[in-house]
Amino acid sequence: MERTFEESLNELERIVKQLENGDLPLEESLKLFEEGVKLSRSCRERLTLAEKRIEVLMKDNNGDIRIDNLELDNDE
């Protein structure tokens, strides 16, 4: 089962905290670092895809990207 973006980001944060502690053996640190790099790449790819989807949605009739001021509620 594939993780959601949020799950991947939370796991990446957990890994960073573990690595920052420095209490792990070298092999375990390398394994966590490798997993962190994979998660980072996955998150970056998802963000890039989301950005492309937003650009498509923001195009006007001429195909130009229209930037509007988006107002968000404080609850979001």
If you average pLDDT over residues 26-38, what whole number do you get?
97
Task: Assign a CATH topology to domain 5-58.
Answer: Helix Hairpins (1.10.287)
Q: With a cut of 70, say whether residue 37 has pLDDT above it.
A: yes
| Residues 75, 64: Cα–Cα separation, whole Å | 31
CB neighbour class for 40 (10 Å; exposed up to 12, middle 13-18, buried from 19): middle
Taking the domains of the chain in order of start, what are their residue ranges?
5-58
pLDDT for 54-71, tens place per residue? 887 887 777 777 766 555
Q: With a cut of 70, say whether residue 51 has pLDDT above it.
A: yes
